């Protein structure tokens, strides 16, 4: 999972760099490459709706006016639009959306274990929007921090009666990405 997200982050950063060459560095590209990444994962870049860029830029400008004081919002939207149209970003966004769809299917899949239950039976979809912010989370029973992936694997075993997923099991990655996609 971490490798997948790291590759997404790297691809997004490289795409920002290739869309705007070093000799064209501007306040807008610096803002994207430095400031945006302070608060947002690169996942947000892939999920950004191009039709809502103005709304997004306006909201972020109101939230962090100091960051935007030297930024031309029209140029920022042009840079973001160009990035979103880049074939590499489009391909990564497609891969992300496919993994999220597989994760959503797993979330309601009653065949993950032997109990006949699915994740959705105990965790209604509408209640999980902030779960991505909870992990890693301290687990008192383990006396250490636990990743979301570990927690999902444990739930499959203990709550659904399933076999222990192997490290790197793509089902766990897909479930994790689905949960991270919720708002």
State pLDDT tens for residues 98-137: 999 999 999 999 999 999 999 999 998 778 878 878 889 9
State yes or no: pLDDT of 17 exceeds 50. Answer: no
Residue 166's pLDDT is 94
Q: What is the pTM of this model?
A: 0.70
State yes or no: pLDDT of 5 exceeds 50. Answer: no
Helices (H) and strands (E) in the chain, counts: 11, 2
What's the pLDDT band for 150 if we cut at 50, 70, 90? Answer: very high
State pLDDT tens for residues 41-74: 666 666 677 788 888 888 888 988 888 888 887 8
Could you tell me the residue ranges of all domains in the chain? 2-85, 98-181
CATH class, 98-181 region: mainly alpha
- What whole-number distance in Å separates Cα of residue 163 and Cα of residue 172? 13
The pair of three-digit structure tokens given for residue 136, joined into one six-digit string: 């890693």
- What whole-number distance in Å separates Cα of residue 13 and Cα of residue 36? 12
Q: How far is CA 86 from CA 13, 24, 81, in A?
A: 12, 17, 9
Residue 44's pLDDT is 67
């Amino acid at each position: 999972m971490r490798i997948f997200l790291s590759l997404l982050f790297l691809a997004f950063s490289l795409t920002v760099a290739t869309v705007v060459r070093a000799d064209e560095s501007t306040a807008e590209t610096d803002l994207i490459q430095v400031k945006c990444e302070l608060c947002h994962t690169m996942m947000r870049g892939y999920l950004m709706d191009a039709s809502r860029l103005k709304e997004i830029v306006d909201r972020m400008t109101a939230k962090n006016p100091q960051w935007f004081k030297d930024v031309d919002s029209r140029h920022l939207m042009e840079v973001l639009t160009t990035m979103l149209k880049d074939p590499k970003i489009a391909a990564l966004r497609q891969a992300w959306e496919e993994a999220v769809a597989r994760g959503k299917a797993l979330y309601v899949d009653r065949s993950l274990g032997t109990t006949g239950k699915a994740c959705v039976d105990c965790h209604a979809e509408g209640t999980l929007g902030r779960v991505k912010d909870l992990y890693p989370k301290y687990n008192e029973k383990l006396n250490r921090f636990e990743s979301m992936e570990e927690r999902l694997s444990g739930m499959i075993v203990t709550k659904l009666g399933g076999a222990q997923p192997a490290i790197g099991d793509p089902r766990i990655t897909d479930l994790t990405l689905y949960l991270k996609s919720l708002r």
